[in-house]
Amino acid sequence: MDGRRRRLWMSRLAWVFAIAAAPASCATMHGSGGGSADAVAVSYTPPGDPASDVVLAAATGGPGVMPTPRPASPGDPFRDALADAYKSFKSLGEGKNADYIPVLAKVDPGLYGLVLVTVRGAVYEVGAARDEFSIQSVSKPFTVARAIETAGPDAVNKRIGVNATGQKFNSILAIDLFKNIPSDEKHVIPAGNPLVNAGAIATVDLVPVPRGMDKWSVIMGNLEAFAGRKLTVNDEVYHSESETNTHNRAIVQLLKDYEVIEGDPMQALDLYTRQCSVSVSARDLAVMGATFANGGRNPITGVQVVSSQTAAKVLAVLSTAGLYETTGEWLYKVGVPAKSGVGGGIMAVVPGKFAIGTFSPPLDPAGNSVRGQRAIEAMVQKLGGNVFAAKPVGRAHETKAEASPPFGPPAPVTAIAGTN
C-alpha cells in the first residue's frame, strides 16, 4: 500500500470511528446518548410496556434521527411477515443452548426476538428484540469487512482464503487439509475462510492499525460503527470463554507454525475472544446487516462504514460459509447470505432491500439458532427476498410434449452389455 493510500484509509477510519462514538448520533438502550441541546433524542424504548407479540415500527427521519417506535398497522408487509414468523415459531422447542461455553448454557432458552431493518432506515421489532447476548461468530463478517477495506481484498484472499472448508467451524483437520492441498504453489491458505475460527483469528491478526490507535480500538470501533451505537464487552462471557478455549489455543499455535499468523498468536486469540464477547441485541444485528444491505452505509446513522465493494465481497463470503457446514443447505432453502453465532443470534441480508436480526439461544447440531433459521426462512419467503429467485419476463410460449425434434425423431439407441 503506498503512503498516500494508507493516509487516506487511516483518515477515513478515524472519521468513521469518531462518528460511531459521537453521542449525538448514537443511541443507548435507555434513550439518547446526549449531544447538543438541538440534537433530536433517539430512543430504542417505546413508552409503556407493549405486549411481547406486538410488532413495533419506527421510520428514521434522517441520519441519527429515529422517532419513538409505535405499534405497526396490519397490512404493512414487513409488519405482517415479522408477526407471522414470531407467532409461528414462538412455541418451537427444538435445539439446545451451547454448553461448551458454560455461561451460554445459562441463558434463558425461551428468549425470542425478531427485527427487520430496511435500507431506508425503517425498523420493525417484536419479542426479545432488545435483550442483549454475546455476538460470538456473528462478529466475524464485520472484522473481515474492516480487513478488506484496509488491507485489501487480495490480502484477505491470499492470507486467509474465502472457500468453504466443509468442516466444523473450529476444525483443526480443515487447517491441515488446506495446508496440504494449496490452490497453487504460492497460495497456501490453511486458515480456510474468515468465518471459521482459524480464519477469523487470522483476520484479527491481519487488520492494520492506524498510528495512535490500538487494535482493540479498531475492532470495537468498527463494530460500533456498524451498530450505530456504543457497545460493551460482556466480561462474564469473555472470562468464561478465555478459561475454556483450549481448542482455539491449539488452532493459533498451528497457524503460527504455518506462518499464517504473523504477530503474537495469543494476542490474536485474546482479541478474537473479546470480539466474540461483545453484547448486542437482535436489533443491533439487523442494523448491522442493513448496513451491508445498503452498500456499506448505516441506514440509521448515515455513516458510510465500508465501501459498497467491500460490502459485496463480505456478502459473497457469507454465502460461502455463513452458517458453517450447513451453508449450502441454507442457501438452497432460503436463498440469502446470513451469519449465525452460538450465542443464539443470526443476521440475514437481502442486498438493496433489508436485513433481519434474530435471537433465540437453542441451537441445532451445527451451532445455528433453530427458531432463528425458521423465522428468517418464513420472512424471506413471504417478502420475496430470495436473491436467486427471478420472475420470468416476456410472453410464455406453450410447447407440446409430443412434438418431433426439428430434424425428425431421434435415432434408436442400442444398449450393448458385456464385451465383444
With a cut of 60, say whether residue 277 has pLDDT above it. Answer: yes
CB 206 within 8 A of CB 158: no
User: What pLDDT is stored for residue 44 in this prediction?
Assistant: 35
Task: Give yes or no for a contact between 359 and 113, defined as CB atoms under 8 angstroms apart.
Answer: yes
- Residue 257 in this model has a pLDDT that exceeds 50: yes
Helices of type H across 258-394:
265-276, 282-293, 308-321, 327-333, 370-383
Counting residues of the chain whose pLDDT is more than 90, the rounded percentage is: 54
Question: Higher-confidence residue: 313 or 195?
Answer: 313
- Please compute the mean of the pLDDT values over residues 130-151 and round it to a whole number: 96
CA 323 to mean position of chain CA atoms: 10
Judge whether 324 and 310 are in contact, CB under 8 Å: no
Report how far Cα 240 is from the mean position of its chain's Cα atoms.
23
Mean pLDDT throughout 299-319? Answer: 96
| Strand 354-359 to 345-350 pairing | antiparallel
pLDDT tens-place string over residues 39-71: 222 333 333 445 667 888 877 656 555 556 788
- The three cell numbers locating residue 169: 467451524
What are the pLDDT digits (tens) for 219-255?
999 999 999 999 999 999 999 989 887 777 888 777 7
Question: Which CATH homologous superfamily contains domain 3-26+99-383?
Answer: DD-peptidase/beta-lactamase superfamily (3.40.710.10)
Q: Where are the domains of the chain?
A: 3-26+99-383
Ranges 28-37, 222-231, 368-377, 410-419: which has the least confidence: 28-37
